[in-house]
Structure 1
Amino acid sequence: MRKTVIFILTFILSISLIISSAKANSIPPSVSADGVILMDATTGNILYSKNKDVKYPPASTTKIMTALLALENCKLDEVVKVGKKPPLVDGSKIYIFENEKLTVKDLLYGLLLQSANDCAEALAEHISGSKENFAELMNKRAKELGCKNTTFKNAHGLYDDNHRTTAYDLALILKELIKHPEYKEISTTSIYYIPPTNQTGAKRPIWNKNKLVQKNSDSYYPECIGGKTGYTVQSKHSYVAAASRSNQTLIAILLHDTKHTYWSDVINLFNYGFNNFSLETFHSKGDSLGTYSINKNTEIPIVSAETSFYVKDKNSDEEPQFKINDQSLIKGDFKKGDIILDASILYKNKNVGTLKIASNVDYSSNNNLLASFKNTQITSSGLLKIASCVAIGALVVAFISVRLKKRFKKKRKKFKHIH
């Protein structure tokens, strides 16, 4: 009896510990940085944030925008001739020389691994002619990506009173940057050697400062696909990173960290995200979504125009829904496959994305009846039934016609006989 009681108590205690552990894992970790965001890279959904729209000086995390513009505007083997100003820039650098010829690839390695300010300015001048023009390009591209609280004044992030961004805006920039496989390859390289140039006769070694990709580091995180550190006295410490597990990629941004705990903080953020959320397919391209009423007499079949996703809370059983944003199609003309509507994806009472909807038939506002007929989506068996009905109807009509003709002839004979 005593053993049974001990077993039951042990079992209850074990269950309690498991439940307590699960609850603890579902609570966002404490992060020392002032501006923080954890974002799903596919949907843009925010999984955790703190002061996400507050402006902070980003220091060298600025360089993710410089890298993005270099990848968008240059080829990796493109040769850059260094001007007078880049070698004179302050702060971290790999000591390039005036008139030295390096490839864009070499400069990107210096930019992302060594956080070299001279490489940043060399790329800026190569792309835009001057660092001032490049700053204008940075701000233009930031707005295109949806950044609303960002002003860049330089390509490297050295402190400037007006050089500001937010955790949310940096997440949007990194979200775009990780679409480039070249970035992932460069950013996860532990050590790179710049080959001899017209100014140097020896290879130039460059080490990656990102501890999350260094296998011998106590902060090594195998799922990390890239990151960038930053620091100035005024900006404090900052760090941006992305990590992928299974089919999901998360982005973490930490700005203005006075305690320099971002290595452990970012790992805790990633683990929190992967443990509590999963990326799920909402609708695949071509999935039937039912019908949509164009008018009282016409309904058209609609399908998902693209594969859509949502981020599922692993601690919830709630399922996503969609709500079509009503739009009049009475005067529209479209073909099968054309995108004609969009819908809001709703999950846990929040709008978490947009679903593009396509017509599954051709439709013309000038010929509604034809469109309605097409909308019935008749199957081959249905066509056989219709054909059979038409054939039977034709036989019935023919039979009645023959009978009427015979009766008409008899009446005609009687009429002649009487007269």
Structure 2
Amino acid sequence: MKRIVTFALLFLLICSNNPYGVVHAKEMPPPVSADGAVILDAATGQLLYSKDPDTAYPPASTTKIMTALLTLENTNLNDKVIIGKNPPNVDGTRVGLCEGEQLTVKDLLYGLLLASDNDCAEALAEHIGGTMDKFVAKMNKRAKELGAKNTNFVNPTGLFDENHKTSARDLALMMRALSKHPEYSKIATTISYTIPATNKSPQPREVWNENKLIQKQSTYYYSGCLGGKTGYTVQSFHSYVSTATRNGQQLIVALIHDKNKTFFPDAVALFNFGFNNFTFTKLYQKGALVTTYNKDGLSIPLIAAYDFYYIKAKDDTNVPQVTLKDKNLMFRFFKKGDIVDEASISFEGREIGKLKLASSITHGEKQVLNSNNMQKIIMKNKYLLAVPPIIIILAVVFVLKRRVFSNK
């Protein structure tokens, strides 16, 4: 009997055996002055346009996008910050912080994002990292986590250093992460902010937003702009990163190493190109049938585990293709709604994402044992008929549970 059960177990075990490219539009994109430029869709991470997207350039004060991201991820806006001895002595633009002065994170963020004050950047860096070196290490670590492959930060301000660089694509990825924080857009779309009096400054200090895309009186005002950040040093030239939304679609424009200071009109032109030529399309709604698993006589309707969107040119009539992983579901137990597979979604020859798939039916021990495939196994191996059904059931359950645990 032991030999028969062992053989049955072995037999059943044997039997059970962007990422993203650029989306193309028919309309030609507008010319831009910057050496590196991208339009990135915020929801999918797809590039709609790129010009030398991965060459690293000194980003100047657009660096503060990462400083702001780490601030929002690691602090509360009402946290108190005591200014150390270093921030008041930093080069470049300053709001006028004093050693020992107490401000909130919120006050410093307004100074950082509106007026690009370097003393605010260093104060936040020391508050979060303890030291400048530790904060810079956090910047580089976070950049890598976001997929930034051509970035190396040396400071939280963007002051020029030959080793301090990023690319247009990387800058867009950082803005993508930052714009997910509602506090960012609230701050970045404020025209002016008054930093209240402190223990070291009896007079309030006002900071003004330098981003012309949110200034209604500006020629470059852009309805739907959620914020942006400029950058400039003599060695770095001009850079700019911004994000805007229209009809539920959010785009990010990044421009870096612009010698001609045309980043505001160029950003407007790129936003218009992106919104006019591409559409944010829902391919599958959560719970919608994606495909049906058909193998070995088993049919399992597979549904989307969540909404899946993609970007396409507005006049493109092609349809995305779905490819399932090569999984055998015959001897797996799962309930209705369990994730059982994953689909690779391709569009015009490139992968645009992966989608988790759930079963719309339950497939348990009863279904496995009553399946046509199981009946065929038993009929082909008639000696299994001599094995009590309970033994077969236990053998199947044992094998399946071993496989489940071994895959964890």
269-278 or 309-318: which moved more? Answer: 309-318
1:163 corresponds in structure 2 to 164
Q: Distance in 2 between matches of 1:60 and 1:173?
A: 13
Task: Please say if 1:81 is aligned against 2:106.
Answer: no
Deviation at 1:300, TM superposition (A): 1.4
Q: Distance in 1 between matches of 2:330 and 2:149?
A: 37
1:310 corresponds in structure 2 to 310
Q: Distance in 1 between matches of 2:240 and 2:218?
A: 17
Q: Conserved in 2, the CA contact under 8 Å of 1:298 and 1:368?
A: no
Task: Please say if 1:53 is aligned against 2:54.
Answer: yes
Q: Conserved in 1, the CA contact under 8 Å of 2:296 and 2:330?
A: no
Structure 2 vs 1, CA of residues 76 and 370 (structure 1 numbering), >3 Å: closer, same or farther?
farther
Deviation at 1:247, TM superposition (A): 0.8
1:354 corresponds in structure 2 to 354
Deviation at 1:372, TM superposition (A): 8.2
2:10 corresponds in structure 1 to none
Deviation at 1:363, TM superposition (A): 2.7
- Report which structure shows greater RCO (CA 8 Å, sep ≥6): 2
2:241 corresponds in structure 1 to 240
Query: TM-score w.r.t. structure 2 length?
Result: 0.82
Q: Conserved in 2, the CA contact under 8 Å of 1:25 and 1:272?
A: no
Q: Distance in 2 between matches of 1:132 and 1:365?
A: 58
Residue-by-residue CA offset, 1:129-156 (whole Å, 9 max, x unaligned): 0111000001111111111111111111
1:321 corresponds in structure 2 to 321
Q: Unaligned stretches of 5+ in structure 1? A: 1-23, 374-419
Q: Distance in 2 between matches of 1:351 and 1:313?
A: 16
Q: Conserved in 1, the CA contact under 8 Å of 2:41 and 2:47?
A: yes
Deviation at 1:336, TM superposition (A): 2.2
1:395 corresponds in structure 2 to none
Deviation at 1:330, TM superposition (A): 4.3
2:109 counterpart letter in structure 1: L
Q: Conserved in 1, the CA contact under 8 Å of 2:140 and 2:152?
A: yes
Task: Please say if 1:94 is aligned against 2:110.
Answer: no
Deviation at 1:347, TM superposition (A): 1.9
Task: Please say if 1:216 is aligned against 2:224.
Answer: no
Query: What are the residue-to-residue correspondences of 1:4-403 with 2, within 5 Å?
Result: 26-293=27-294, 295-364=295-364, 368-369=368-369
2:63 counterpart letter in structure 1: T
83-92 or 341-350: which moved more? Answer: 341-350
Q: Conserved in 2, the CA contact under 8 Å of 1:330 and 1:365?
A: no
Q: Conserved in 2, the CA contact under 8 Å of 1:111 and 1:119?
A: yes
3-state SS in 2 of match to 1:281: strand
359-368 or 319-328: which moved more? Answer: 359-368
Residue-by-residue CA offset, 1:195-231 (whole Å, 9 max, x unaligned): 1111111211100000000111111111110100001
Structure 2 vs 1, CA of residues 161 and 330 (structure 1 numbering), >3 Å: closer, same or farther?
farther
Structure 2 vs 1, CA of residues 368 and 41 (structure 1 numbering), >3 Å: closer, same or farther?
same
2:94 counterpart letter in structure 1: K
2:148 counterpart letter in structure 1: C
2:198 counterpart letter in structure 1: T
Q: Distance in 1 between matches of 2:310 and 2:321?
A: 10
Q: Conserved in 2, the CA contact under 8 Å of 1:333 and 1:365?
A: yes
Tell me the matched-pair count.
349
3-state SS in 1 of match to 2:340: strand
Deviation at 1:353, TM superposition (A): 1.9
3-state SS in 2 of match to 1:63: helix
After superposition, the CA RMSD in angstroms is 1.8
Residue-by-residue CA offset, 1:165-201 (whole Å, 9 max, x unaligned): 1111111111111000000000000010011111111
Q: Distance in 1 between matches of 2:229 and 2:331?
A: 52
Q: Conserved in 2, the CA contact under 8 Å of 1:362 and 1:371?
A: no
Q: Conserved in 1, the CA contact under 8 Å of 2:194 and 2:207?
A: yes
Structure 2 vs 1, CA of residues 25 and 319 (structure 1 numbering), >3 Å: closer, same or farther?
closer
3-state SS in 2 of match to 1:75: coil
Q: Unaligned stretches of 5+ in structure 2? A: 1-24, 374-408
Q: Conserved in 1, the CA contact under 8 Å of 2:114 and 2:188?
A: yes
Q: Conserved in 1, the CA contact under 8 Å of 2:284 and 2:290?
A: no
1:88 counterpart letter in structure 2: N
Between Structure 1 and Structure 2, which shows a larger proportion of helix residues? Answer: 1
Structure 2 vs 1, CA of residues 356 and 252 (structure 1 numbering), >3 Å: closer, same or farther?
same
Please tell me whether Structure 1 or Structure 2 has the larger radius of gyration of its CA atoms.
1
Percentage of matched positions with identical amino acids:
52
2:142 counterpart letter in structure 1: R
145-154 or 110-119: which moved more? Answer: 145-154
Residue-by-residue CA offset, 1:24-60 (whole Å, 9 max, x unaligned): 9821000110011101100111000011111111111
1:154 counterpart letter in structure 2: N
Structure 2 vs 1, CA of residues 198 and 348 (structure 1 numbering), >3 Å: closer, same or farther?
same
3-state SS in 2 of match to 1:170: helix
Q: Conserved in 2, the CA contact under 8 Å of 1:114 and 1:208?
A: yes
Residue-by-residue CA offset, 1:307-328 (whole Å, 9 max, x unaligned): 0001121122222232223233
Structure 2 vs 1, CA of residues 366 and 153 (structure 1 numbering), >3 Å: closer, same or farther?
farther
Structure 2 vs 1, CA of residues 99 and 349 (structure 1 numbering), >3 Å: closer, same or farther?
same
45-54 or 330-339: which moved more? Answer: 330-339
